[in-house]
């Protein structure tokens, strides 16, 4: 039996956290969710997710800072990171690279598009509908 891939989702907006988690679970991913950046920092080190999806603005530690700190830790450095930002919120490409962020998506986003990006990042060919 194939092991489900694990995704850590971090967003302070509970509705978005719920929608992302639900769609990913429908795609047979194991989801760990939190609204808090510091909790996410600990969870990433303990759970070793296959992917981290993080909003730019989360409680106690920004998504960008979370990604930077995870990128600086040898055991979490190579975990792919997808950052969700508000439309029009500009990020310097150097900051994105320094934080080890693989992809930036603007809110609002289509859950279907997000799942397609996740499937692509994880090399998954799941055909679950969104």
pLDDT per residue as tens digits for the range 75-93: 999 999 999 998 656 778 8
The domains found in the chain, sorted by start residue, are 6-121 (3.40.50.2300)
Share the mean pLDDT of the chain. 90
1-26: average pLDDT: 92
pLDDT above 50 for 125:
no
Neighbouring residues of 33: CB distance < 8 A, sequence distance ≥ 6: 8, 9, 10, 17, 20, 21
Backbone angles phi and psi of 60, in degrees to 5: 65, -25
**88-118 confidence digits (pLDDT tens):** 567 788 989 999 999 999 988 999 999 999 9
Q: Tell me the whole-structure pTM to 2 decimals.
A: 0.90
Per the DSSP assignment, residues forming a β-bridge with 81 are 52
Report the pLDDT value the prediction gives residue 91, as an integer from 0 to 100. 79
Neighbouring residues of 57: CB distance < 8 A, sequence distance ≥ 6: 12, 63, 86
Report the pLDDT value the prediction gives residue 124, as an integer from 0 to 100. 61
| Sign of the torsion angle spanned by Cα atoms 8, 13, 18, 23 | negative
**28-60 confidence digits (pLDDT tens):** 999 999 999 999 999 999 999 999 999 999 999
Report the pLDDT value the prediction gives residue 86, as an integer from 0 to 100. 82
Q: Compute how many other C-beta atoms are within 10 angstroms of the C-beta atom of residue 122.
A: 17
């Amino acid at each position: 039996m194939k092991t489900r891939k694990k995704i850590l989702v971090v967003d302070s907006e509970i509705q978005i956290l719920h929608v992302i988690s639900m769609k990913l679970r429908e795609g047979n991913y194991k989801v760990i969710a939190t609204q808090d950046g510091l909790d996410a920092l600990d969870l990433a080190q303990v759970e070793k997710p296959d992917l981290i999806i993080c909003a730019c603005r989360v409680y106690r530690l920004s998504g960008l800072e979370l990604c930077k700190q995870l990128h600086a830790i040898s055991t979490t450095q190579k975990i792919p990171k997808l950052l969700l930002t508000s439309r029009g919120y500009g990020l310097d490409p150097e900051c994105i690279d320094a934080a080890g962020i693989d992809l930036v998506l603007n809110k609002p986003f289509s859950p279907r598009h997000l799942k397609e990006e996740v499937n692509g990042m994880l090399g998954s060919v799941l055909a679950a509908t969104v």
